[in-house]
Amino acid sequence: MPVTPNYYDLLKIPKDAGAEEIRHAYHELARVLHPDKNPRAGATDQFLNLQTAYETLSDPVRRSAYDKKLRSESDDPILVDVSFSRGHLSAQPENQLMYVLLEISAAAKLVERNSPHLNLCLVLDRSTSMHGARMDTVKSAAIELIRQTAPEDVISIVSFSDRAEVLVKSGKGQERHYMETQIQMMRDGGGTEVFQGLEAGYQEVQRHLNRTMVNHIFMITDGHTYGDEESCLQLADRAALQGVRITGLGIGTEWNDKFLDELTSRTGGSSFFIAKNNDLHTFMQEKFDALNQVFAERVSMTLTTPPGVVLNALFRVQPDSAIVPLSNNIRLGSILKKSGLTLLMEFIIPSVPEDVFRFELASGELNLVLPFDAAATRKIPLTISRQVGKDDEKEMPPHPLFQALTQLTLYRMQEKASQEVSEGKVQQASVRLQHLATQLFSLGEVELAQTALIEADRIQQTHMLSAEGEKQIKYGTRSFLLPARAREV
Amino acid sequence: MVICPNCLFRNMTGALFCSECGTQLIRDESQKTGAVHVTNGFKSSAKTGPVPQPASIPPAPFTDAPVSLNILNSGVFLPLPDEEEVILGRASEGQSMVPDINLEPYHAFEAGVSRIHAAIRMVNDQVMITDLGSGNGTRINGDKIEPHIPHPIKNGDLLNLGKFKIQIIIQTKAK
């Protein structure tokens, strides 16, 4: 850490302080520290430091150079950048919204560190519905993935229907030929009981549980599980406490997306919709690559808001965009080396008084484990506050924030429409999907927009969404703006 | 409070998108052309007066028109004259036939709109669109339509004239 406090600390102001705040803080301190009033030794130096701090921060060009320098000199392994949708909160009695983008990234000098090894279990559905091409695709995707693992990675494979079999016990450096044969021998048959597979998989991962590794379960399923949802969720909670994350890949349209979302998100993981068999390879590869890019694991956040302020929604933009369920200890998954972890938060703020400079939205901390230095859980304090005042002109919010919010808006429209369908509000849902289509068309997402229009019509006729259309729109709206997708095109 | 120009929903201060219909409530002022304001019919009467913010203008003056065009990407609503047939296109210099609705102020040329692109007709309360053999074609909700054949359109449909995007707004008359 630098010996001298940084200019922000010196002036006792937050990193996003505005010109007015900086001037105010400077005058306050200058009054106290002025050499004329302050004869004690060192006061002059202190005053001169304050002078430099003020001159640097009050000049936008010098300030941005200084911010860059601070960043490069920082010894923190994790950097947190906060940006806001508006320069100021308005002093008004009515509720208002503020969007906050948290970009959490790995320090540049640590990015080149070796990736942690994996402790990975593949949990594969082999129920009757997997028969045929679907089963073959899963097998070949699993084999492809096994071939890419390193000898130091701990691998296990479990298959399940209404019971589970451990095909490959967890261990390092197992013979590939053996693992591949075990996968090839899988035969379809039986019902779908997710809990069976999940529990067997969890036990395998647990045998080699280690904070220096990425402990993970990949589950592929194509069906509804019946009656064991509650035990699955409890298992997910246990897994989360142990630092085991679950990724769920749902094939076809018959699986329960709400359940799989809930299950995986409790561990900081996410679920994905595989519409066509061929997409499975791509998805598994993408998720596997992400596991090998992990910089920090077990990332969680505690956040408390002052009375009246509500954290209304939390959207993980990257990696694996998803609405993150809110709790006392919000599980966020991992921070990737290159792309970090990006979160969008929506705050509803009640009455803001006129006579305050700054209003606090939330405070708390991020907790995480760095696998390369796993002894301690790192804690990063977070305070989110904003100046109160008037915005000079309608300024566009920072682009990444705006883009994330576009995505969140569309995802929520989809969510509302499907809520309305389930409540029998057919007309409203149909209109909402038409609105959604309009927005998607204007963003150039023609295919997704057409799906939305087809579903809007279908609702009018059948009062239902099709399982396929609903999943396509849900998973489509939550991921279409991702950079990963842009790279593919 | 921010009132949505599209659906009039009252959003909280600080909203960037309408929470009802998803319409973007904030525009990039730096990218906006003056022409949009002029043709919007809301040019401030005072010469030096501030340009009104589009986000706060409800489309109330337009609500009488049975058919309106929502010019996407510009946030402008164009009410169509209450006539049997309205030709959409763009006017250019030295052109003998001028379209009823000139889309040129919204960068129609760049988007590939023909001078005489399509016609919107009212036939027994059914709104139809006909592509008039335009260079880049017309699409309804992404599907290309045959030129010179009238196609029915309904409220909320998305039209593409070339790359030019329009949403069609049809107000059903109270009887």
Residue B48 pLDDT greater than 90, yes or no: no
Tokens standing for B2? 């921010």
Residue B102 counted as domain residue: yes
Alpha-helix residue ranges (DSSP H) falling in A58-132: 60-73
Predicted confidence at residue A392, as pLDDT, reads 64
Determine the pLDDT at residue A4.
65
Checking if the pLDDT of A368 tops 60, the result is yes
A376 pLDDT above the threshold of 60: yes
What gap in Å lies between CA A327 and CA A322, rounded to an integer? 15
Q: How far apart are the C-alpha atoms of B24 and B31, rounded to whole Å? A: 15
Instruction: Answer yes or no: do B75 and B54 share one domain.
Output: no
**Whether residue B100 is found in the same domain as residue B158:** yes
Contacts of B28 in chain A (CB under 8 A): 396
CATH C-level class of A7-73? mainly alpha
Residue B142 lies in a domain: yes
ipTM score for this prediction: 0.82
Q: Give the domain CATH number at B124.
A: 2.60.200.20
What is the number of CB-based contacts under 8 A between chain A and chain B?
83
CA geometry: angle at A54 spanning A48 and A59, to 5°?
Answer: 135
Inform me whether the pLDDT recorded for A483 exceeds 60. no
Give B51's contacts in chain A (Cβ within 8 Å).
none
- Whether residues B80 and B141 share a domain: the answer is yes
Q: How far apart are CA A274 and CA A267, in angstroms?
A: 21
Residues linked to residue A358 through DSSP beta bridges, in sequence order = A387
Cα B99 to Cα B119: distance, rounded to the nearest angstrom:
9
Question: Per the structure, how many domains does chain B have?
Answer: 2
**Domain match, B83 and B134 both:** yes
Domain assignment of residue B175, yes or no: no
Domain boundary among B58, B88, B106: B58
> SS3 of B78, please?
strand
Assign B140 to helix, strand or coil.
Answer: strand
Q: What is Dmax (Cα atoms) for chain B?
A: 49
Residues B153, B75 share a domain: yes
Q: Give the pLDDT score at A335.
A: 95
- Amino acid at the residue A143: I
| Same domain membership, residue B84 and residue B154 | yes
* Assigned CATH for A118-292: 3.40.50.410
Q: What is the pLDDT of residue B58?
A: 34
Q: Which two structure tokens, joined as six digits, stand for A383?
A: 């305070």
Residue range A33-88, pLDDT digits in tens: 787 777 777 778 888 888 888 999 988 889 989 888 888 888 888 999 999 999 88
The answer to whether the CB of A323 falls within 8 A of the CB of A313 is: yes
Determine what percent of chain B is predicted with pLDDT higher than 90. 12
**The last residue of a domain, from among B14, B33, B58:** B58
Q: Do B39 and B66 share a domain, yes or no?
A: no
Judge if B78 and B146 occupy the same domain. yes
Q: Which of B58, B81, B102 is the last residue of a domain?
A: B58
Q: Verify that B95 and B139 share a domain, yes or no.
A: yes
Fold of A78-110+295-387: Immunoglobulin-like (2.60.40)
In chain A, CATH 2.60.40.3670 sits at 78-110+295-387
Greatest extent of chain A over all pairs of C-alpha atoms, in Å: 88
A391: nearest CA partner in chain B: B14
Q: What is the mean pLDDT of residues A350-367?
A: 92
Residue B15 domain flag: yes
**Looking at residue A139, what is its pLDDT?**
94
Buried b / exposed e along A451-476 (16+ C-beta atoms within 10 A): bbbbbbebbeeeeebeeebbbbbbbb
Based on the fold, state whether residues B159 and B84 are members of the same structural domain. Answer: yes
Answer whether residue B17 is part of any domain.
yes
Residues B17 and B86 in one domain: no
Determine the Cα–Cα distance for residues A214 and B35; give it in Å rounded to an integer: 56
Q: Which residues of B touch A441 (CB under 8 A)?
A: 72, 141-142, 158, 165
- Rounded to the nearest 5 degrees, what angle is found at the Cα of A167, between the Cα atoms of A161 and A170? 120
Nearest to B158 among A98, A406, A441 (CB): A441
- For residue B113, the enclosing domain spans 61-170
Mean pLDDT (whole number) for A148-167: 94
Tokens linked to B149: 């054949």
- B116-123: strand order across its sheet: B101-102, B85-89, B116-123, B126-131, B151-153
A453/B28 Cβ within 8 A:
no
pLDDT of residue A363: 95
Average pLDDT for A420-436: 90
Residues B37 and B65 in one domain: no
Q: Which two tokens stand for residue B30?
A: 């730096």
Q: If you measure CA to CA, which chain B residue comes closest to A446?
A: B142
Q: Which residues in chain A have their CB less than 8 angstroms from residue B22's CB?
A: 409-410, 413, 435-436, 438-439
Instruction: Give the C-alpha distances (Å, rounded to integers) separating A171 from A174, A185, A219, B55, B103.
Output: 7, 20, 19, 60, 67
Task: Evaluate if residue B54 carries a pLDDT over 80.
Answer: no
